[in-house]
Every structure is written in C-alpha cells, then in structure tokens.
Structure 1
Amino acid sequence: MHRRREPRPQQPKKFETRRFSTERRSSLYGYLDTPNVDDKLEFTRLPHFAYYTGRLVQIGRRIWELWSPNSLRSPFYPGKCCDNFLLDPPLALHFRRVDGHLGRFDPTVSPQEIDQDAWLPFIRRRIPMGAKIQDYPEFVVVPNVWLADDAPARHSGTLNPHFLQTYKQRNAQLDAQMERLQGIYLKRPRWWTRCPLYPYGANFKSLMKSVTYDFAVDTLNTIHHGVKLKAAWIELVERFLVDSDWSEEIQLRRGLEPANDDFMGTWVNKALKPLSLGSRARRFHVLSFICTHLKSWPRSPTFPSTRIFSRDQKRSN
C-alpha cells in the first residue's frame, strides 16, 4: 500500500537583490553622438615608426583617418571633452549608467585627448598577462562580489568581506608607493601637487555593511576610478625616474617602438608643444592615437572597413 507523501514546505521566495531602485541609462548612452573633433595638430613632425594601425571614419560629412604609430588597437574616439564634464556620477540616479562608468569621456574606459594630468595614458585597461584578478581588485565588477542578505530588504546586500579587505590593502600599498616617490616634487612639482589621493582607507568602511545595489555599484566604481588613477601616476613617475637624464636631442633619430597595449594611451590631436608626441612616446612609451582630416576618400583599397559616427546617418562597417 502506497503511503501518501506529505507536500514539502515551500521555500520562502528570495528577492533578486542585484537590481537598481530605479531605471538607469544604458552603458552605450551618448556613444553614438557626433564627436567634436579638434583637428589642429600642433606637433610639427613625427618620429620614424615601423608599424601602423588605422581605419577611416566619416563624422558628419567629413572624412578622418584614426590611426596609431605604436599600437595594435583601434580604440573608440570620444572627441574633445566637454568643458562641463565632471569625473563624478550625476546626482540623479536615472542619469547614471547601469555599469557605473561615466561615459565617453571617462579616462578609465577610453583614451582621451592629452590632458594636464600626464598620467592618464598610463591607466591600465586590463590586468597583466599571467596575473590574478585578486591582485588587481580595481577590475572586479560588483555582481561577482555581491552577497544577498539572509533576510534582505529589496535591493539590499553586502560585498564580499575578503574582497574588501584585499582591496583596502591594495589601496594602502599604492599610497605607500606614492609616498616613496615624493622626491618627484623636485623635478616635476606639478605631478606631486596634483597626484590623485582618493580613495582613502575610510572610504572602504561604507561598503562593509548592508547597502543598496545602487550604492554598491556607484561607490565601488568611484573607488575603482581613483585606484586606477593612483596606479597610473605611479607608472608614469617610475618610468620617468628610470631615465631621468633622457635627452631629446640624442633620441631624436630613434623611431617609435610598439608600446604596451595593456595601458590606455591618449589621443594626441592637440599636443602640448612641438614634438611633444615624439618625446613622450619615445621616452615613456606612451600609446599614441591620432585623428587626421582627409579631403576625400582615398582610392587605395588597403584601408580597413569604414565606420560612420553621425546622428543623421546609420552606423555601418
């Protein structure tokens, strides 16, 4: 005789807490807007280079060549940065992006034009080959370290405590490295006075408790941004100190060597002074990208496929 099975008690339904409290902009918002191109190339000539990577782009009705003499990448061209652009998340939540980044002018996502902060081209795009993500927590995304509360309110949770502790140690190590490099003030005082200071150790405490998913994404991305800037500053200063007696006259005839594509690089349409592209690229191995205006489509079939960026035209490959 078969026994009647008792129905199993239903498990309480768990909320999916990896959700925002309000709708947000997509990650691609604004990237298809027509860029404002600064075509005033102020450097007088380029050093010899053996490699070329480039493509043709139509912006509105004008044709441009986006190319590099020392990189294998074809990065996104954001155009000239808006004067009112801030490196802070918008105050209104619905103006923020789902991944927390700041858009086309975010220097931790896309190469930007040469800036007074000379370390921006040395922001890392990815961790070094063979390295572990645990050693570079600034590349960890929130969903991978998000822990839902045992009895969560909607959208609430915590971040993995081991991850936060490791990240705090990483930040402290960068601060210690920057402190050891303070002698750069004697040779490049502006680099020292403008060196990135955020995040501080106390900034990690706000994530060591139950928080909303909105707060976790925005706060962690802001911390990521600051840590990447610190690491970039250290990279620049260490490269400078390795060869502090570098002479441009001696190196003038040396060509550009391929640079490390692990770093961000910069668009050099507006170099700070004549030959600054050549001197920076040779001395610091800066990844350099150039936007050159062409009067008409070249007849040569050797150029890569075309991409169109315009509000009134379709984007094609």
Structure 2
Amino acid sequence: MTPFLYAFDVNSIFGRAFPHTDKRVNNGNINQRDFLGGNPVYALRETLRIIRSEIDAVTHLGLPNTHIVMVCDHPGDNFRHAIFPKYKGNRPPKSAARRAQEAMLTDMLRAAGYPVLCIEGVEADDVLATLSTKLSAMGIGCAIFTGDKDLMSLCNDHTVIYNGKLKKIIRDTDVIEKFGVSRNLVLDVLALAGDTADNIPGVKNMSESSAAQLLQMLSFDDIVNTPEKILDTNLKLRKAICKSLKEDPQAAIVSKKLVTLKRDVQLSMNFKEMKFTGPNKEAFLPNFFDLEAA
C-alpha cells in the first residue's frame, strides 16, 4: 500500500470539541462519562470521537492512511512571542476545565494508541508544515486535519487539508477559490489582512479580499515598500490602505513574520514511528476507555 499520512492539528480539533460539550455540562446535562476521579474529561472524549470519525470519513473519501500522527501545541510561549510579545494576547483567560483537559490531551492520545508530536518553541502549525514539506519532497501523500486557514498554504500535489467542520477535502485548486490567489500567496494575504483571533495586526483597512486583489497586481514587497503604487489600482479603499502602510509599514512586516510557517522543525520521531499501536488503557485515567460505550 502506498504510504499516506494522516496528521491531526489536535488543538484545532479540541477547539471544536470543547465549547459545545462545556456548554452542555454547564447547563446541567451531565453523565457518568464526563468526569473521572473529579477530573473533567468530556471534551477529551469528544476530541477522540471527532478524530475517529474523521479518520473514517477521509478513508471513505478514498484516501486511506498507512501512517498517522497527532500534533499538539507545546504549552508556553514560542518564537512568535519573541517577535511580537502581544501575539495571541487578546484571548480571554481559559476556564479551569479547559486548562485541565488541555493538559491531559497528549497523555490521552498516547494511551489511545496514537503517536504524538509536541515540539517546544514552535506551534503545531510549524510541525505540520515541516511534515508536509518533508513528505512532499519524498512524494508521500499527507492529509492535514484542521480548520486553520494558514495551513491551506501547504496544499499541493501531495498534501490536502480535511476541514471536519465543513466535511470537505481541500485541494490546491480549492485554495484559489477560497482566497482568490494561489497557495504561495495565502500567507501574504493573511499577513496583510491580519488575524484578530491571534492578535496579528495586519494593515489597517485591509481585508482578505482587498489583500488578494492587491496581490494579483503587486508583490508583497511592492505593497509594503512602495505603497503609492496602490493608488494606481481600482481598489475601493486604496487611499486609506496607502495611508496606513505609509504610517506603519512595520505592521505588515511583523505580521508576515508571524504568519510564516517554519518548515524545518527538528522532529522527535521518524516517519516509521507514526503508526497507530492500539490503546493502552492503563496509561491514562482509570475507566476512561472502559466507559466509552456507556
């Protein structure tokens, strides 16, 4: 069977699993599977359910895997905080229940039988970009399970994205439909437009659509270094955008550094080790796996 990797952006999956399960529990709809030994595990169970469901979904869509890996953000700051200390600084504090379950994610996944990559100093997106780059160079296929827009820049002849929320495989051609530019310009679009979720500033008055329009006419460097060229376009807010770039060109430059994905992360395991091994029930909270079908 031709090698093919499933690589899960676990924090993206958990980010979908936590809100609705937490809302259910807070509304008093609690069952015996939601807590073990006083520990909340409801979002962990939902994360595992989503992962298994999406494995089945993509397999049935004709992309069966031979290898699999779960990729998690390492706790604490990463290199982007050194570039911009306010990176992700606008997010509200996490609840105790969320922090507790996030802290158990990697242990739960390993006990479930999945190899896990969690690399200090970088984010899961950088690890996924490194995997995609290395495997593509070897002609090996990869499906990345995520809802993150920046990872769409990785789509090519060997790498696809599976967006579980949309239940859709995203290929290279879909990137153009989504952004209006090819994959190699996706990160430029995101740098210019910014991202409020991650507190990436971008350029004031610039939207993703206006950034995509500009990048069809000018390079990122031209936009930043010679913003007066924007005045020669038919962009609706060209005067306001030109003014923003002249007043604060560093906003775009810093944003580009923040959205750029590292593709040379030193990985802590090799491709051969990225295999499902089956659950080890004793390696996690007692009864976590025994109560799955309850």
Instruction: Please confirm whether the aligned pair reaches a TM-score higher than 0.5, indicating the same fold.
Output: no
Q: Which has the higher contact order (CA 8 A, sep 6+)?
A: 1
Query: TM-score normalised to the size of structure 2?
Result: 0.25
Query: TM-score normalised to the size of structure 1?
Result: 0.24
